[in-house]
Structure formats: structure tokens, C-alpha cells
């Protein structure tokens, strides 16, 4: 197979699974192998530090020979958290400019996207090893202790949690943190308003346990899609198929016949109890804080464990941004916000970016070419209120088309020189948030957010002072004369 990194014409994701991607990342020089790390803090800290040092360009890390665990039982960090690797995962051209990857991904959704249900196979590599009931011992897997103040080890951070709606049969795939309590019990924390929480409450209201499967290692594309704000009633598997351009291969779990990725690395199956809880957390979360204390949360009794030979746990490390997943999440969310704003009828959008400093959610920028009075505020309000932008936001900034929304210096310059704070900042109160928000101390978990108009004033935008900057033509001529200064 030709090296996908060398091509700029991608029909969509072409990889089969995480192991296929590892081979490609190695060819690209984007993967580092680490032996003999300690799963207690060490491996997570190394990944966190490299992300902060090289945001958007840090290598993926594959840990093996982890202290105290069987060689071959591995942990993968940051699989899609560089622009080069993310392009391969999404099946789009490797971007010359950061915003290119959002544009390409968004264009594919608009032009070619359709929901494609998964393909159910009779078997798959995930069934290479099956543990049942008394055979199960989750402590054999290197579930990391991620942060120093965490309440335990977490086997599920970059995971898929699969549930079936008891009333409609809708299959939902979400990402929720999974703490190891014992050999066959885990805890789960799900934020209010998330689809998985709605589904489990239906079972609990009927006095039933909630069937669940949890994939703890898989293709990072599946993680990105399960982490996206897909609409209620739409299966993330169907959405994943649409992004791939072909169906996701799944197999059915033994007990509950729930679909799980056929090429997943490690999958747990069990029952979630509404009337049996244990103390879960605390856990350092994506906003960069321990915002929610340890609390009583439902337990899941694990009755089956499915895993490949030499399984790989995929690890997201929520922390003070940038985190080892915020590049990937920010790109996907930006493209989805852009798509939703345009579908709502707003034209003239030039780009959207979800900045890593806001954990890919809290500081979102939309660039437009102003076409009529109120256009800027309309675009910003939609970006704040659409499905992909509504959860746990804080700031939405709208800028003119000459501002690259991914360039934080340009965005701040626009805010400083084109925004009159008393007149150009509006506030939305009582918006959907989460207990993980450090500004919220108790329910209801609603927050307030700011809409910042950092565009030139519509009434006299054509008379606004000219920008003191070399013209695009001059820049191009200078770069052609002295290319050695402009190569990375």
C-alpha cells in the first residue's frame, strides 16, 4: 500500500483499524515507542508534557513492557492529536494551513455525507480472547492512574460506551469515563443531558439494569465520532459510516447482542445498576480542573471481556489545555458548527475554529464576510446555540474574513481593535453546561456565555482604517525570493 502521507487526494479514511494506523504513523515518523514506563502517573505525565511542549505536533506514544504488566499489553496516547495524523485518520489532505483541515472535513460533510448503518459480521479479531464471569480480572490490563489527585485507575477515557434505547432500539455510542473498582466492577460518570444518561435513566425507571458494552481501545476515528454532538436518535455508528464512506464493521456481544467494533482492542460487557453505586472519582477533567468531587455513581458488573492478542488501551488525558485530544476534537467540532450554521441559512462563513486553550469547547471563533446588518451577531448566536456548539461553551467570537479564526493573535487583535465592549458583547444566560465546569458549584448546571462581535462596524466598515500589513502579492513575491526563510 502506498504511504497515505505522500498523497494529497484522499477518498476518505482508508485504514482498517488502530494497528493499521500505527504502521502508517511509523512510516510518517509520527510515533514513538516507550518501554518500561509506570502506569501509575508516569506514562500519562509524559504524554501531557509532550502535548504542552509541541501542541498539534507532538508524536503519538505507544507504551509497552509497562511495569507490572505482561509485555504486549500496551497503551496508546494521542493517536490523532497532530494535524498530520489527524488528516490520515479523517482521510483528508494533510493541511498546509491549520484551517484547511476544517474546510476539507466540512466540505465532505456537505457534499458527500450520508448515514451508513454498520455491517454486522459473524466474528472478528476482538473475539481472539474471551473471558467469562469468574475468569474476569480487569487488573491484568494496564489501566493507567492518570493524574496525581485522581480517585483510582481509569480503563476508559478514550473509549466507546454503547447502549440501546429500551423504547426505540436506537444504538447510542458515547464517551464517558470508566473507573476500575475491582476485578469485575467499574464505575461510570456521565454528565447530565448526555444521551447515555438519558438512556440509562429509562432502564432505571423501569427497575431494570442497563445493558452496556465499553470499548477501551479502538480506531481513533470511532472515538472522535462518539465524542461529537450527534443528534438525538442518530446512531454514532451510522454517523461513523458516513464519515468513512463505508459501513463500520461490528460484531454482536454475547450477552446483550450490542454492536461493538469488530477490530476493537479491548471490550467490556456488563450491566449498569441504578440501585448499586460506589464512590467514583475525583478525576482531572477536560476544562483543566478537578471541578466535580468524588460522588456515588452507578456500578457496572462486567460479565464478559473480549480482547485481541496483545491489546492496546487508548488513553485520553484530560488536563489543563492543551490536552492530548483537543486538536482532534476541536477540528471535528469546528467543522460541525460551521456545517450547522450554514444549514440554518447563514451565508458568508469563511471559517470556524475551536481553540485548544478553551479545551475545544470554551473559546470558539467564527469568521464571516459581512453581507448585511446584524449578520455578525446572527452567525455568532447560531454558533453558540447549535447542537455542536451548545454544550459547555463560554466565549463565541465573530471576526471579519481577513482574520484567520485559528490564529489566536489575529483574533485577539480583532477583539482589541474592532470590538467596543459595552456595545459589542452580548450575554446568553442559563445555557447547557456540566458539573465539570469549575465556575458551577451546584445544580442546575447551567452557565452564561459571551457573544463578542469583533467585526468592523457594519455601518462604516468600508471606511474603517486600512490595515498596516504587507499585501498578499508582496508577501508572495518576498517568499519566492527568499524561500529558505519560510520552509518548516
The set of cell numbers assigned to 249 is 464493521
Chosen CATH of 344-474 out of 3.40.50.11820, 2.30.130.10, 3.40.1670.10, 3.30.70.20 = 3.40.1670.10
What pLDDT is attached to residue 111? 66
What pLDDT is attached to residue 291? 86
What pLDDT is attached to residue 96? 86
At the fourth CATH level, which superfamily is domain 113-315? Electron Transport, Fmn-binding Protein; Chain A (2.30.110.10)
Note if the bond before 322 is cis, omega within 30 degrees: yes
Note if the bond before 138 is cis, omega within 30 degrees: no
Q: How far apart are the C-alpha atoms of 98 and 405, rounded to whole Å?
A: 10
What pLDDT is attached to residue 7? 37
Same fold? 113-315, 344-474: no
What pLDDT is attached to residue 4? 35
What pLDDT is attached to residue 1? 30
For the chain, the domains span: 4-111, 113-315, 344-474
Task: Compute the chain's Rg from CA coordinates.
Answer: 23
The Cα diameter of the chain in Å comes to 76
What pLDDT is attached to residue 12? 80
> With a cut of 70, which residues of the chain have pLDDT below it?
1-11, 111-112, 488
Stated pTM of the model: 0.91
Q: How far apart are the C-alpha atoms of 70 and 142, rounded to whole Å?
A: 9
Amino acid at each position: 500500500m502506498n504511504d497515505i502521507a505522500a498523497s494529497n487526494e484522499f477518498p476518505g479514511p482508508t485504514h482498517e483499524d488502530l494497528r493499521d494506523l500505527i504502521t502508517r504513523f511509523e512510516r510518517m515518523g509520527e510515533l514513538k515507542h516507550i518501554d518500561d514506563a509506570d502506569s501509575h502517573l508516569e506514562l500519562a505525565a509524559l504524554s501531557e508534557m509532550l502535548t504542552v511542549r509541541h501542541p498539534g505536533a507532538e508524536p503519538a506514544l505507544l507504551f509497552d513492557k509497562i511495569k507490572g504488566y505482561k509485555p504486549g499489553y500496551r497503551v496508546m496516547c494521542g493517536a490523532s492529536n497532530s494535524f498530520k495524523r489527524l488528516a490520515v485518520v479523517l482521510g483528508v489532505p494533510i493541511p498546509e494551513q491549520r484551517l484547511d483541515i476544517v474546510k476539507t472535513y466540512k466540505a465532505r460533510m456537505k457534499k458527500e455525507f450520508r448515514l451508513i448503518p454498520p455491517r454486522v459480521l459473524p466474528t472478528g479479531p476482538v473475539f481472539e480472547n474471551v473471558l467469562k464471569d469468574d475468569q474476569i480480572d480487569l487488573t491484568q490490563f494496564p489501566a493507567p492512574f492518570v493524574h496525581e489527585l485522581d480517585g483510582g485507575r481509569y480503563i476508559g477515557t478514550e473509549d466507546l460506551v454503547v447502549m440501546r434505547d429500551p423504547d426505540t432500539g436506537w444504538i447510542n455510542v458515547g464517551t464517558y469515563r470508566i473507573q476500575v473498582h475491582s476485578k469485575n466492577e467499574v464505575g461510570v460518570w456521565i454528565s447530565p443531558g448526555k444521551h447515555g444518561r438519558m438512556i440509562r435513566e429509562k432502564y432505571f425507571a423501569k427497575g431494570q439494569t442497563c445493558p452496556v458494552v465499553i470499548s477501551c481501545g479502538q480506531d481513533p476515528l470511532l472515538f472522535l465520532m462518539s465524542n461529537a454532538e450527534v443528534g438525538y436518535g442518530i446512531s454514532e455508528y451510522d454517523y461513523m459510516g458516513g464519515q468513512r464512506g463505508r459501513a463500520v464493521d461490528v460484531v454482536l456481544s454475547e450477552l446483550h447482542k450490542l454492536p461493538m467494533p469488530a477490530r476493537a482492542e479491548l471490550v467490556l460487557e456488563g450491566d449498569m445498576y441504578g440501585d448499586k453505586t460506589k464512590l467514583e472519582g475525583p478525576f482531572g477533567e477536560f476544562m483543566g480542573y478537578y471541578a466535580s468531587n468524588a460522588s456515588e455513581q452507578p456500578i457496572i458488573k462486567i460479565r464478559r471481556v473480549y480482547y485481541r492478542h496483545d491489546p492496546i488501551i487508548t488513553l485520553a488525558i484530560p488536563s489543563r489545555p492543551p490536552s492530548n485530544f483537543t486538536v482532534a476534537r476541536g477540528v471535528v467540532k469546528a467543522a460541525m458548527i460551521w456545517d450547522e450554521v450554514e444549514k440554518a441559512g447563514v451565508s458568508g462563513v469563511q471559517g470556524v475554529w475551536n481553540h485548544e486553550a478553551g479545551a475545544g469547547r470554551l473559546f470558539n471563533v467564527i469568521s464571516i464576510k459581512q453581507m448585511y446588518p446584524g449578520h455578525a451577531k446572527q452567525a455568532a448566536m447560531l454558533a453558540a446555540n447549535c447542537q455542536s456548539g451548545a454544550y459547555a461553551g463560554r466565549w463565541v467570537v465573530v471576526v471579519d474574513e481577513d482574520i484567520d479564526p485559528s490564529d489566536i493573535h489575529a483574533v485577539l487583535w480583532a477583539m482589541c481593535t474592532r470590538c467596543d465592549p459595552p456595545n459589542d458583547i452580548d450575554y446568553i444566560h442559563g445555557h447547557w453546561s456540566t458539573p465539570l465546569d469549575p465556575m458551577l458549584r451546584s445544580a442546575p448546571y447551567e452557565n452564561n456565555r459571551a457573544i463578542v462581535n469583533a467585526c468592523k462596524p457594519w455601518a462604516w466598515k468600508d471606511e474603517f482604517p486600512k490595515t498596516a500589513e504587507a499585501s498578499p502579492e508582496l508577501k508572495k513575491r518576498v517568499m519566492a525570493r527568499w524561500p529558505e526563510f519560510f520552509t518548516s
